[in-house]
Structure 1
């Protein structure tokens, strides 16, 4: 093949590639002969169908197949011979030689954006702080109180009086949208705790003051992020019938409560809660040091980012921003910005993400960091566990869709590279309060 470079600007390269007609014809003929070996036509012995008949039947299809393969092979050879590393799939435009049955040379243009040359920074010069917090008695006691509140019993209030804060109202209700009852919106003998959580905003508040035997129609609006998409953000009415009043009876936090929920005693519950809280703190600590590390590495990304990758990343980010804006869920800070400013800010974020991704990938490549098959299987199992009862379908989905499985590889690889860099960096442990650990520092663009 003949290659002429037509563009060299920054990371962008352009080429015109010519594949001789004779080479294409040889491939076409070889493919037609291969097809003829497997054809069965009346009047001809297997494998003895004349080439002219094979060409008559399959000529156009083979022409397209050969051209596609020739372009793919030539593009790959071009990249290999010149040591080019594409950032994204090269763009190919046919110029000549693509006509059915044509005898002309194949000529096409290739435009590609390359990965930048990335110098690996001296990771040993990085200084990081690992925040560490210890579960305190207040946190453990609060968790125990939450457990106890879920084990409460309720006793009936015999006096017929209006429901007040702290009461539990036993109700029947029928939910309607535009006057039509919706699926899942009807229930009987439901306990609604006034002042408690778990219901649509405004639902429990409008039941306050009702007495047993009273009926009432209330109006509420489902949250924009409500799990049922057909109800999210919609106004609904509920026909309420108050049937009884109850009061919660607190449960003593003692060994008896612990045995009631399947433990040997209260100390065992405390130990379990402590371990769970420690794990939560460890995860928060890791998130904080990872963020600090990425901020430190971002300062070392002094290379040009491939604009195609930046545009693709920005498109994904902007899609989420648009969805949040439509749902009225933009951050307060973003609500104050005009669209041009908002786009500019998120384009900076997209460029930062692309550069960090490339730097982490280069660190991983240079240090032979890979994701093993066992790690991939563990990730697929973890994903399947998110769908109880559908685990086998999830495994089957990933088996049939390797690209979907590859989407799990990226986070695993990134975390392994992060762990590798943290091992090389100078890390100082710092004891902080749980509140300080949970604080989210301002984002760096």
Structure 2
């Protein structure tokens, strides 16, 4: 097999590969010999079909397999010998279109090689880690927010009209065509106005009602309503408003703590403090990660494969266009051109991506099966009731597995660099941390 270099400019590579006809013929014969013991053909005992007849019957089909294997073998041998790593799938095409059996096979292969990534002195990188303690004030603020979410209701002053967000306690009886229907009546039912827990139009007609009033609520059941006998029908609900209550934050006490699974208020405060500090640590890590990437970006500069740059710039442009045009859900839109700004951002991302990949490879960092399983489980939660189908989809889709694996690998490499870099703690306030996070989001 002959391999001749035809292009070597920057990271672009081109080669002409010639697979001799004799090599192909030998590979076909090898396949026939391997299959002969299992072949049955009329007039011959199993395994006794002559090679000449086998070749006439199966040779043409096996020749295609032999060509593919020969080309794949030539490519693998080339990459092993040269040390090149293609940035994307190589472009391979057969050039002698008039090929016939007995001719050599001529192949052209072109690709962009991944660049050599320079060494980086990770121990020379200096980083600052923002540290925020969850003080009493932060815990009390979070506790007050929890109390708001666990709101109670207290009676409004007698004669006060109900407002959106209030709770009304009602008796009601629903009728269709003057006849009561099953499930259309209740007593002392607590309904929060604006909760949309009843059919559309029901709750709005109770806004402005007072305790003691009777209100006739007229609604139409949706056409797709679950009960067929009610779907699309007009209904009248005779409602008696017995109480009107306004929302109030739940009292901060041991009873509130038990609602959130804590033994008592002190235990709840301790849990809140731990959760807050975990949130602060997560935000601080994101800031330190951005600062690390900025430092790494300053330290390295090397040629980048144009195909990777174009693909990344196109993806960035496409993503930003959809963020600016949220009403367009699909991809039926004009072609989106990548700007210089998109290309600059793509250059940074590709460069840092290649650097982190190189650092991870040298440090022998791998994503474990347990980490992948956890990532798949986390993603599957977004599809309630379809978790099994999602697992199967991931198993059958290498690209999806790569999408899930990539951020885990990157975070492990980042943590590896954090361990080697010189990191100093800086205690700051919650507000200072928030400002740093906002500055990060604005970039």
Classify the TM-score, shorter chain. 0.7 to 0.9
Aligned to 1:77: 77
Out of 341, 347, 350, which is 2:346 matched to? 350
SS at match of 1:440: helix
Stretches of structure 1 that go unaligned for 5 or more consecutive residues are 173-187, 218-238, 330-338
- Larger displacement relative to structure 2 (301-310 or 316-325): 316-325
Aligned to 2:271: 272
The offset of 1:152, in angstroms, is: 3.0
Q: Does residue 1:2 correspond to 2:36, yes or no?
A: no
The offset of 1:374, in angstroms, is: 4.2
SS at match of 1:96: coil
Aligned to 1:64: 64
Q: Is the 8 A contact 2:168 2:193 kept in 1?
A: yes
Give, in whole Å, the separation in 2 of the partners of 1:423 and 1:90. Answer: 37
Q: Is the 8 A contact 1:380 1:395 kept in 2?
A: yes
The offset of 1:98, in angstroms, is: 7.5
The offset of 1:259, in angstroms, is: 3.3
The offset of 1:193, in angstroms, is: 5.5
Structure 1 242/111 Cα, relative in aligned 2: closer, same or farther at 3 Å?
farther
The offset of 1:366, in angstroms, is: 2.6
Give, in whole Å, the separation in 1 of the partners of 2:142 and 2:419. Answer: 34
Structure 1 242/260 Cα, relative in aligned 2: closer, same or farther at 3 Å?
farther
Structure 1 423/104 Cα, relative in aligned 2: closer, same or farther at 3 Å?
same
Give, in whole Å, the separation in 2 of the partners of 1:70 and 1:31. Answer: 13
SS at match of 1:134: coil
The equivalences for 1:39-58 within 5 A come to 39-58=39-58
Structure 1 298/256 Cα, relative in aligned 2: closer, same or farther at 3 Å?
same
Give, in whole Å, the separation in 2 of the partners of 1:39 and 1:75. Answer: 32
SS at match of 2:127: strand
Could you list the per-position Cα deviations for residues 231-287 of structure 1 after superposition, in whole angstroms to 9, with x for gaps in the alignment?
xxxxxxxx9999654322443211232234443211011111111111111111111
Q: Is the 8 A contact 2:84 2:113 kept in 1?
A: yes
Could you list the per-position Cα deviations for residues 308-367 of structure 1 after superposition, in whole angstroms to 9, with x for gaps in the alignment?
1112222322332232233169xxxxxxxxx76x62212211111110011111122233
Give, in whole Å, the separation in 1 of the partners of 2:94 and 2:131. Answer: 60
Structure 1 208/312 Cα, relative in aligned 2: closer, same or farther at 3 Å?
farther
TM-score normalised over the length of structure 2: 0.77
How many residues end up aligned between the 2 structures? 398
Could you list the per-position Cα deviations for residues 219-241 of structure 1 after superposition, in whole angstroms to 9, with x for gaps in the alignment?
xxxxxxxxxxxxxxxxxxxx999
The offset of 1:208, in angstroms, is: 9.7
Stretches of structure 2 that go unaligned for 5 or more consecutive residues are 173-185, 220-234, 329-335
The offset of 1:428, in angstroms, is: 1.8
Aligned to 1:235: none
Structure 1 26/140 Cα, relative in aligned 2: closer, same or farther at 3 Å?
same
Aligned to 1:213: 215
Q: Root-mean-square deviation (CA), in Å?
A: 3.8
Could you list the per-position Cα deviations for residues 98-137 of structure 1 after superposition, in whole angstroms to 9, with x for gaps in the alignment?
74x5211110111111111111121122111111111233
TM-score normalised over the length of structure 1: 0.76
- Larger displacement relative to structure 2 (2-11 or 75-84): 75-84
Aligned to 2:290: 291
- Larger displacement relative to structure 2 (430-439 or 2-11): 430-439
Give, in whole Å, the separation in 2 of the partners of 1:205 and 1:346. Answer: 49
The equivalences for 1:308-387 within 5 A come to 308-327=307-326, 343-384=339-380
Structure 1 304/260 Cα, relative in aligned 2: closer, same or farther at 3 Å?
closer
Give, in whole Å, the separation in 2 of the partners of 1:9 and 1:204. Answer: 72
Q: Is the 8 A contact 1:35 1:54 kept in 2?
A: no
Give, in whole Å, the separation in 2 of the partners of 1:306 and 1:422. Answer: 28
Structure 1 161/254 Cα, relative in aligned 2: closer, same or farther at 3 Å?
closer
Give, in whole Å, the separation in 2 of the partners of 1:198 and 1:143. Answer: 27
Give, in whole Å, the separation in 2 of the partners of 1:119 and 1:291. Answer: 21
Q: Is the 8 A contact 1:37 1:46 kept in 2?
A: yes
Give, in whole Å, the separation in 1 of the partners of 2:203 and 2:349. Answer: 44
Q: Is the 8 A contact 1:92 1:108 kept in 2?
A: yes
